[in-house]
């Protein structure tokens, strides 16, 4: 999971990165101000945003407003700040924040809130072994098998994982870096040829287009988007 940490205090940002990276499932990206974060948001996707309230030039509320206006509404945002009054909490939630963690931060509480939000967006742990249905496609997550109209589609393990991630995030524009890190665990510096090859194979094997009712499009210089085709 890719987490954006927008925090102008370098020591606090580094501490958050250490805490979350120790979990093993989180890849943290640090941004020292709101403008740099927004520039990154325009190019890459993130699964969760940790956002400081007080920052120079552009405060956290302004960043949150941009995120809610321009990004997928499902991207959860947690405010991390010294402001901890009931009025501040209500203000943050009313303006689009999903949660609020006051400073000084308690690492166990922060991790629990992150896990809770990510479960809400990506599906609960209790449902991890239940089949997932997306139109004609059914993913058997326990047997790592995919069925199209009840006919099994032969996929490699990575093709299955990539397909499942795309369907779970249908409608979202996913950068190549986001897909590589989420499916292969690689960083953005690696060659993307492997990803593009797997995308091409999925298109052919799943007959993505009018026949399947789903379209997988390439967005120049960015990544891919899977979306249902309107009937």
As to burial, measured by CB atoms within 10 angstroms (0-12 exposed, 13-18 middle, 19+ buried), residue 9 is middle
* Angle, CA 171 vertex, CA 151 and CA 120 arms, to 5°: 90
Distances (CA, A) of 20 to 62, 76, 100, 115, 197: 25, 16, 17, 11, 32
Return the pLDDT at 125. 47
- Report pLDDT for 129: 62
- pLDDT-derived band at 126, boundaries 50, 70, 90: very low
4-18, 68-82, 128-142: which is most confident: 4-18
Using a 10 angstrom Cβ sphere, with 0-12 exposed, 13-18 middle and 19 or more buried, the burial of residue 187 is exposed
Percent of the chain with pLDDT over 70: 92
The superfamily (CATH) of domain 2-122 is: Response regulator (3.40.50.2300)
8 Å CB contact between 50 and 24:
no
CA distance 54 to 135: 44
Q: What is the mean pLDDT of the chain?
A: 86
In the chain, CATH 1.10.10.10 covers 129-228
Q: What is the DSSP letter of 209?
A: B
β-strand 99-102 against 132-134: which pairing, if any? unpaired
Task: Tell me, yes or no, if the pTM score tops 0.75.
Answer: no
Mean pLDDT of 74-98: 81
User: What's the confidence (pLDDT) of residue 231?
Assistant: 59
Tell me the average pLDDT across 208-212.
Answer: 88
User: For position 190, what pLDDT does the model report?
Assistant: 58
Measure the CA angle with vertex 179, ends 226 and 143; round to 5°.
80
Q: Identify the weakest region by mean pLDDT among 8-22, 63-77, 109-123.
A: 109-123
pLDDT, residue 96, reads 82
Query: Which region among 2-11, 108-117, 136-145, 187-196 has the lowest average model confidence (pLDDT)?
Result: 187-196
From the list 68, 3, 8, 17, the residue with the least C-alpha distance to 35 is 8
The band of 51, judged by pLDDT with boundaries at 50, 70 and 90, is very high
Which range of 123-127, 197-201, 221-225 scores highest in mean pLDDT? It is 197-201
What's the confidence (pLDDT) of residue 19? 93
- What's the CATH fold of domain 129-228? Arc Repressor Mutant, subunit A (1.10.10)
Q: Per-residue pLDDT tens for 169-188?
A: 888 878 888 888 888 875 54
Ranges in the chain annotated CATH 3.40.50.2300: 2-122
What is 175-197 written as a DSSP string?
EHHHHIIIII---TTS-SHHHHH
Peptide bond into 179 cis (omega under 30): no
Q: How confident is the model at residue 71 (pLDDT cuts 50, 70, 90)?
A: confident
Mean pLDDT of 92-101: 82
Q: Is the pLDDT score of 79 beyond 50?
A: yes
């Amino acid at each position: 999971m890719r987490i954006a940490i927008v925090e102008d205090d370098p020591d606090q940002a580094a501490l958050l990165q250490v805490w979350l990276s120790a979990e093993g499932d989180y890849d943290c990206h640090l941004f020292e101000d709101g403008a740099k974060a927004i520039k990154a948001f325009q190019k890459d996707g993130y699964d969760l945003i940790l956002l400081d309230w007080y920052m120079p030039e552009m405060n956290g509320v302004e960043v949150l407003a941009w995120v809610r206006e321009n990004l997928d509404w499902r991207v959860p945002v947690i405010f991390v700040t010294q402001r901890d009054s009931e009025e501040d909490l209500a203000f943050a939630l009313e303006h689009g924040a999903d949660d609020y963690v006051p400073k000084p931060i308690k690492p166990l509480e922060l991790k629990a809130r992150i896990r809770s939000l990510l479960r809400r967006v990506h599906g609960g742990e209790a449902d991890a072994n239940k089949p997932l249905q997306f139109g004609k496609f059914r993913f058997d997550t326990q047997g790592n098998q995919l069925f199209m109209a009840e006919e099994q589609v032969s996929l490699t393990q990575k093709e299955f994982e990539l397909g499942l991630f795309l369907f779970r995030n249908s409608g979202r524009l996913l950068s190549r870096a986001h897909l590589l890190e989420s499916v292969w665990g690689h960083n953005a510096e690696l060659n993307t040829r492997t990803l593009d090859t797997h995308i091409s194979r999925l298109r052919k094997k799943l007959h993505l287009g009018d026949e399947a009712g789903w379209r997988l499009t390439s967005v120049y210089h960015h990544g891919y988007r899977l979306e249902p085709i309107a009937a």
